[in-house]
Homo-oligomer: A and B are copies of this chain.
Amino acid sequence: MRFTEKLLAASEKNDSLLCVGLDTDISRLPKHLLNSDNPVLGFNRAIIEATADLVCAYKPNTAFYEAMGADGWRVLKQTIEAIPSHIPVIVDAKRGDIGNTARMYAQAFYRGLGADAVTVNPYMGFDALKPFLEYPDKCAFVLCLTSNAGAKDFQYLPSKGKPVYEHIAQKVVGWSKNGCCGLVVGATYPEQLRRIRQIAPKLPLLIPGIGVQGGDLEAAL
């Protein structure tokens, strides 16, 4: 089953467009969990159990697990295994490197961890993305316009009549075959989101930034 089919099926089953992040910071866990053997996994399992009928995807963030060392990588794998198999897992890794390195990352996330999708960084261009696109039932979500303040530093630079992020959206549309690419676009920029949706009418969009970062749910939808 292609990623887009799996995503659509999960979305329809739960009538949901919500992706729940699993960026679990051990220093912010409820105290009663800290006495258990594996508090982060326990917390993640409770979140998954409480939300599995409300979401269309889960998104664990590698940084929070890598900060725990080798054990963290094991907890990340156990977390992904705890997610019901019909719900897509997007590993938020934002990787991007030359071909043979990207091939290793794709192997780590798709084969090693069993993820359905991964977030990737476009700065190094097509050959850095290509190894992720060689898995026909997976999806690479490419950073396009991010929700943070620093997006203004380089993503908005004007080039040939349009900002850099629009160049990226257009290239990714050309690179995507059978739904193997998506785009990451911050909810904090609804007008730009509208324009990116015009450029990429068929690509799945991962839209962070609702809530604390100030993005508006209605406007994003």
Residues of A within 8 A of B (CB): 23, 25, 61, 63-64, 66-74, 77, 92, 94-102, 104-105, 107-108, 112, 121-129, 143, 146-155, 157-160, 164, 167-168, 171
Contacts and interface: CB of A to CB of B under 8 A. Distances in A.
A147 B67 contact: no
Contact of A66 (B73, B100, B128, B147): B73
A102 B63 contact: yes
Given A63-B104, A98-B148, 11 more contacts: A61-B97, A61-B104, A63-B101, A67-B112, A99-B148, A122-B153, A123-B143, A125-B148, A125-B149, A157-B160, A158-B159
Count of chain copies: 2
Contacts of A143: 123-124
16 contacts: A25-B100, A61-B101, A63-B104, A66-B105, A69-B77, A72-B73, A98-B146, A122-B123, A123-B155, A124-B146, A124-B155, A125-B148, A125-B154, A125-B155, A128-B150, A159-B164
Contact of A164 (B92, B98, B100, B154): B154
A20 B67 CA distance: 25
B104 A121 contact: no
B112 A69 contact: yes
A151 B164 contact: no
Given A159-B158, A164-B164, A126 B112 contact: no
A143 B154 CA distance: 13
A122 B66 CA distance: 20
A94 B143 CA distance: 14
A58 to B, nearest CB: 16
Given A66-B108, A164-B159, A167-B157, A124 B150 contact: yes
A101 B23 contact: yes
B104 A64 contact: yes
A104 B148 contact: no
A148 B127 contact: yes
Contact of A128 (B69, B102, B148): B148
A36 B127 CA distance: 35
